[in-house]
Amino acid sequence: MAHQAHAYHMVDPSPWPLTGAVGALLMTSGLAIWFHFHSTTLLTLGLILLLLTMYQWWRDIIREGTFQGHHTPPVQKGLRYGMILFITSEVFFFLGFFWAFYHSSLAPTPELGGCWPPTGITPLDPFEVPLLNTAVLLASGVTVTWAHHSIMEGERKQAIQSLALTIILGLYFTALQAMEYYEAPFTIADGVYGSTFFVATGFHGLHVIIGSSFLAVCLLRQIQYHFTSEHHFGFEAAAWYWHFVDVVWLFLYVSIYWWGS
C-alpha cells in the first residue's frame, strides 16, 4: 500500500454528498410545489433523504475516527477549524436578524405609532418565563462543562449523568418556549414586531433542538465507550455549539425580550 506524503485523511469514495445534494434539490422544489400545487410528496421525500444522508454520513465519520483511528492530531486540528468556521457562519446568520430587529426598533415608523413596542402590541413580561428560560440555558452551560471535565477525568458515570441532565434542560427550554409561543398575545403576522420576534426566537429554538440532538448523539457515544479522556472531539464540538446557542439566547433576551419591551 502506498504511503501518502501528508498527514491529512483521504476518505473512501462516498455517495452521501450526492444524496445530500439531491435531498436539497427535492426540499427546495418540494417547497415550491407545495406552495403552488398543495402536494407535500416531494418535500417529504427530500426530508427523508436529508435524514438518511445525515445519519449515514456522520455514522461513517464515527467509523473513520473511533474505529479506524484516522483522526490523528493534524486531522483533528482540521476538524476543529471546521467546527469553529461553521459556528462563525451561524453567528453571521443571527447577526442579520438582530440587524433587522434594531433597524425597526431603534427608529419606529409612524405606522407603528412612533414607539417600540408598537401600538397595540403587549410584549411578554421578560421577568416571567423568559427569565426562567435564561436560567435553564445558563444551568445547561454549567452541566455541559461538568460533563466535559468528567470525560477528561475518566468519570464514566458522572459524564453520563451530567450529559443527560444537559439534554433534559435543553428539552425543558424547548417545552417552555413552545408553551410561550402558544400563549403569546401576538403572532408572526403582527407587523414588524411579530416578524422580528418569531423569526429570531424561532431560528434560535431550531438551533436549541439541533444542539440537543447533537448532545444526545454524544450521550449515546459516551455510553458506548467511544470517548477517551484524551480524545473526544465530537463532544467538544457539541459543547461549543451548545455554548453558542446559549450566548445567542442571552443576546435575544437582552435585546428583544428586555430592551424591546
Partner 1 sequence: MYYKFSGFTQRLTGAASSTASPQGLRSNIPSESPTIVFGTPTKVVSQSSPAVEYMGVNKVPDLQRIFQASDEVPIHLKRVVPDRLLYRTTMALTVGGALYCLVALYIAAQPKNK
**Dmax (CA) of the chain:** 74
Q: Which of 17, 18, 107, 125 binds partner 1 (CB under 8 A)?
A: 18
Query: According to the binding rule CB under 8 A, does residue 216 interact with partner 1?
Result: no
Query: According to the binding rule CB under 8 A, does residue 234 interact with partner 1?
Result: no
Q: How far apart are CA 134 and CA 173, in angstroms?
A: 9
Residue 124 Cβ vs partner 1, minimum distance, rounded to whole Å: 40
Cβ atoms of 38 and 104 closer than 8 Å: no
Residue 167 Cβ vs partner 1, minimum distance, rounded to whole Å: 15
Residues within window 111-170 making contact with partner 1, judged by CB under 8 A: 153-154, 156-157, 160
Q: Which stretch binds partner 1 (CB under 8 A): 5-13, 136-144, 178-186, 195-203?
A: 5-13
Question: At 175, which amino acid appears?
Answer: A
Q: How far apart are CA 48 and CA 64, in angstroms?
A: 24
Query: According to the binding rule CB under 8 A, does residue 12 interact with partner 1?
Result: yes
Rank residues 26 and 136 by Cβ distance to partner 1 and give the closer one. Answer: 26
Query: According to the binding rule CB under 8 A, does residue 177 interact with partner 1?
Result: no
Q: How far apart are CA 106 and CA 37, in angstroms?
A: 40
Q: Would you state the cell numbers that stand for residue 111, as one nine-digit string?
A: 405606522
Q: Would you state the cell numbers that stand for residue 61, as one nine-digit string?
A: 465519520
- Burial code of 38-75, b = ≥16 C-beta within 10 A, e = fewer? eeeebbeebeebbeebeeeeeeebbebbbeeebbeeeb
Q: How far apart are CA 261 and CA 257, in angstroms?
A: 6
Q: Which stretch binds partner 1 (CB under 8 A): 15-23, 177-185, 205-213, 250-258?
A: 15-23
Under the rule (CB under 8 A), what is the footprint of partner 1? 1, 3-7, 9, 11-16, 18-19, 22-23, 25-26, 29-30, 32-33, 36-37, 41-42, 45-46, 48-49, 52-53, 56, 60, 63-70, 72-75, 153-154, 156-157, 160, 223-226, 228-231
